[in-house]
Amino acid sequence: MSELNSLVNEAISLSEPRWRTQAQASGTTIAVETSLQDIPPVQGDQIELREVLTNLIFNAVDAMPAGGRLTILTRSEEGHVFLCVKDTGVGMTAEVLRRCTEPFFTTKGPRGTGLGLKVVHDVVQRHQSNMNIGSEVGKGTTVTIRIPVPTRQEVSGGRTLVPAPTRPLRVLLVDDEPVPLQTIVAYLTSKLHAAETAPDGRQAVEKLRTGRFDALVTDLAMPEMDGIGLASVAKQIAPAMPVILVSGFAGQLTASGGKPQGIDAILSKPINVDQLLQTLGRLTT
């Protein structure tokens, strides 16, 4: 069972580096407002539902380059819980709206993966829920998700999760995109772990040679040295240190049943912070 209102607040907190810090650095302001009614728990995976919320927040922020207002609402009605995420951004044309849940479709150019709304759409379907997207150019976008409330007979315990790390860890995070790093750093710090970042493989190698880390988390596609190349060098420097590779093509990398040399685990991008923490726990105990 998942408390959706709690997940909303967690997602807002975890994404704050994106909607507050990054916006302020570019001279804009994004106001985040909530209207969370008293709603019943929903049957669902907390990790996936939080990922839905985070992706919707990120999409809304990207749609408001000049600033604006992001509003998240919840309510219950006739056996369903409704989650609504609204922005006052640039909106979408009819053609973009029609294609926005297609995999790898993006209007963000090279910095977009085209996976955000596709991930949301897939999670919504797995939860036997439905999603409606309304948008108008120049007026913003509203995403509404309807989640069924379980009957008394359907209520059961959630799945067992892998334990999180039992000791504070020092983790090196490598990605040429700063925003995902900020979100992960904020999350790990909130769990009393230490995190350092590097924007590319070369700087990551320098940090590995001069410091001690309990784990390395690296993006796959980076300039100068990709994640697999970095993993190879990292294993020469610290053979026992686990290396976690993050990629938007994780499914393809693991399709053969194996992992590239030097890689201890592969996680999908956009990264799920809870899954990352569980993977760190598994690899460092």
Q: Could you say which residues of the chain have pLDDT below 50?
A: 104, 109-115, 153-162
**Given this model, what pLDDT does residue 164 score?**
67
Q: What pTM was computed for the model?
A: 0.57
Question: Residue 102 gets which letter from DSSP?
Answer: S
Q: Are strands 30-36 and 265-268 parallel, antiparallel or unpaired?
A: unpaired
**Given this model, what pLDDT does residue 247 score?**
85
**Given this model, what pLDDT does residue 161 score?**
44
**Given this model, what pLDDT does residue 190 score?**
80
Ranges of beta strands (E only) in 199-270 are 215-219, 243-247, 265-268
Q: SS3 string of 38-57?
A: CCCCECCCHHHHHHHHHHHH
**Given this model, what pLDDT does residue 76 score?**
93
**Given this model, what pLDDT does residue 143 score?**
95
**Given this model, what pLDDT does residue 9 score?**
93
State whether CATH 3.40.50.2300 applies to domain 170-283.
yes
**Given this model, what pLDDT does residue 152 score?**
56
Q: Which residue ranges does the chain devote to CATH 3.30.565.10? A: 4-148
**Given this model, what pLDDT does residue 73 score?**
97
To which CATH superfamily is domain 4-148 assigned?
Histidine kinase-like ATPase, C-terminal domain (3.30.565.10)
Q: Which residue ranges does the chain devote to CATH 3.40.50.2300? A: 170-283
